[in-house]
Amino acid sequence: MTYVMSDLHGHYRKYLKMLDRIGFNDDDDLYILGDVVDWGPQPMELLCDMSMRMNVFPVIGNHDLTAALLLKKLNTEITEDNYANHLPPRIARHTRDVADGRREIHA
């Protein structure tokens, strides 16, 4: 059987309940039409479960795309060479001034 879900938004327990309700098994296919993550309490558990099932096929939604883009940005190492590109201008100026010795950090 082929099933379709969408807009799970991190609601892992509801997802599991629905899989149980439809009797989802290894012979079935499930297409998830976007918005796996966002405001629900367990988005990581949901993503992990989906990634372990060879018969679950997610399609990225706008909430998923936003999360992926944010995670990519958060995963960028900020160095002396690129900090101006990744920090707000006021903080970048402060960081540059500290690095150049024009400003001290007081604890």
Place of tokens 């690095």: 99
Work out the mean pLDDT of the chain and round it to a whole number. 87
Q: At what angle do helices 43-52 and 12-22 cross, to 10 degrees?
A: 40
Q: pLDDT tens, 41-71?
A: 999 999 999 999 999 999 999 888 888 887 7
Strand 2-5 and strand 56-59: pairing? unpaired
Length of the chain in terms of residues written: 107
pTM: 0.66
